[in-house]
Amino acid sequence: MAQAASAPGTQALPELASVYWRPRVDEDALRRRGTLWTTVTVAHVVPFVAIAVLIFVLQPLAVAVSLIALAKAWLIPALYAQRGANVVRPKGRLDDEPEHRALGLLGDLVGHEARDLYAETGLVLERGALGVWLVGEAGAVLVRPGRRRIFCYCVRVPADELPSADRTSHLLLALREDEAGFATVANLAFSGARWRLRRRLDRRMRPALAAAAEAAGAS
Amino acid sequence: MSRLVRMDRSGHTTLAEWTAADERSVESAVAAFREELGRGSFAVVPQGEGRAEQVSELPVDADLVVMRRPIAGG
Residues A40-65: tens digit of each pLDDT:
999 999 999 999 999 999 999 999 99
The proportion of chain A whose per-residue pLDDT surpasses 70, expressed as a percent, equals 93
Distances (CA, A) of A187 to A102, A138, A208: 25, 11, 21
Mark yes or no for CB contact B46/A138 under 8 Å: no
Q: Is B28 exposed, middle or buried (0-12, 13-18, 19+ CB in 10 A)?
A: middle
ipTM of model: 0.94
Q: Read off the pLDDT of each residue in A159-168 and give the average, rounded to a whole number.
A: 91
Cβ proximity of A189 and A80 under 8 Å: no
* Number of separate domains in chain B: 1
The answer to whether residue B74 sits within a structural domain is: no
Domain holding B15, by residue range, is: 2-68
Mark yes or no for CB contact B50/A108 under 8 Å: no
- Count of A-B CB contacts under 8 Å: 122
The answer to whether residue B6 sits within a structural domain is: yes
Contacts of A173 in chain B (CB under 8 A): 44, 46, 52, 66, 68
Contacts of A156 in chain B (CB under 8 A): 71-72, 74
Helices assigned H by DSSP within B6-72: 23-38
- In 3D space, the residue among A38, A5, A1, A3 whose CA is nearest the CA of residue A130 turns out to be A5
pLDDT of residue A6: 47
Residues A12-47: tens digit of each pLDDT:
999 999 999 999 999 999 999 999 999 999 999 999
Nearest CA in chain A to B66: A173
- Interchain CB contact of B39 with A (< 8 Å): no
> Where do the structural domains in chain A lie, given as residue ranges?
23-219
Mark yes or no for CB contact A3/B12 under 8 Å: no
Q: Amino acid identity of A3?
A: Q
The answer to whether residue B19 sits within a structural domain is: yes
pTM of the prediction?
0.91
- Interchain CB contact of B61 with A (< 8 Å): no
- Interchain CB contact of B74 with A (< 8 Å): yes
Contacts of A97 in chain B (CB under 8 A): 10-11
Whether B74 shows a pLDDT value over 80: the answer reads no
The answer to whether residue B42 sits within a structural domain is: yes
The answer to whether residue B73 sits within a structural domain is: no
